Amino acid sequence: MATIEWKSFLIPYEQAVEELKVKFKSIRKEYRKRNEYSPIEFVTGRVKEISSILEKANKFNIPDERIMLEMEDICGIRIMCQFVDDVTKVVNIIRSRKDMHIMYEKDYVTNVKSSGYRSYHIIIKYPVSMAEGQRDIIAEIQIRTLAMNFWATIEHSLNYKYKHDIPDEIKAKLKIAADAAFQLDGHMLEIKDEIKDAQKLFEVKSSIVSNIIRNILTITSMGKLSEADIYKSKLNQLINKGEVFELNNLLRSTEKTIEMGR
């Protein structure tokens, strides 16, 4: 049997990873542009290393010609969420998409793995348009909270270090850490509204502050240096503890100065 031409074999997978990353990042951007909370915090993606593909094929006795059909995580996308209920929202977003065809789902958020691993996995078929036509690529999308991701990343590194034979004592500690991550997600969900409000307030304030700074620069470029200095010192007073209405008042004053100078 001919050996796989890895370089060309992986081209559609690379394309699928890039396209899927762009699509999920765009969903986040869309929420942000509307000044809404995004259930997607950040997205990463990778094509599985050739050595890992071969290792897995060997472990599961997958012949070369069946790798494409049977190995479902050559194209891997990971979506991180702040809160557990965001995971469900992202799952529903994926379920409603016409460009991603779900093959099956694995809910390790509810059905935690014996290692302590939690994540929601969706295996999809995703069509990529290649030079010679369309190809359906299988991709694995892992959706997890930041706490689940923290735990899985550490456990993955330990598995690498101990070559999948983590000592029992460390395994036991990882179990405790997995429980702690689970509880953290629960606590965070309870105070979600508070956190979201704080984040929203931070965004609102930082957007007003950047508009004030932009206006102060305009006022400086108009040659009104003493006014610009007054606004700078007012901004310095408000920047840490100022309320939104105080920042808004300052923004309006800078706007008036600019209008008068035109």
- Residues contributing to the site for ligand 0O2 (CB under 6 A): 21, 25, 41-42, 44-45, 48, 52, 56, 73, 76, 106, 113, 115, 117, 121, 152, 155-156
The angle formed by the CA atoms of residues 245, 201 and 90, to the nearest 5 degrees, is 150
> What is the helix, strand, coil percentage profile of the chain, to 5?
60, 15, 25
The angle formed by the CA atoms of residues 164, 110 and 42, to the nearest 5 degrees, is 75
Question: Pairing relation of β-strands 42-47 and 75-81?
Answer: antiparallel
> Minimum CB separation from ligand 0O2 for residue 44, in Å?
4
Give the chain's length: 262
Catalytic residue among 19, 140, 155, 227: 140
Closest to ligand 0O2 by CB, 120 or 231: 120
Q: Are 243 and 208 in contact (CB under 8 A)?
A: no
Which residues is 130 bridged to in the sheet? 133
> Minimum CB separation from ligand 0O2 for residue 121, in Å?
5
Closest to ligand 0O2 by CB, 123 or 258: 123
> Minimum CB separation from ligand 0O2 for residue 137, in Å?
16
Closest to ligand 0O2 by CB, 79 or 212: 79
Closest to ligand 0O2 by CB, 154 or 217: 154
**Burial level of 223, CB count in 10 A (0-12/13-18/19+)?**
exposed
Element (H or E) spanning 86, and its range? helix 84-95
> Minimum CB separation from ligand 0O2 for residue 115, in Å?
3
Say how far apart CA 56 and CA 74 lie, in whole Å: 10
- Distances in whole angstroms, Cα of residue 67 to Cα of each of 64, 73, 93, 99: 5, 10, 29, 23
Closest to ligand 0O2 by CB, 156 or 252: 156
Known catalytic residue: 140? yes
Which residues is 77 bridged to in the sheet? 45, 141
> Minimum CB separation from ligand 0O2 for residue 46, in Å?
6
Q: Which residues are catalytic?
A: 140
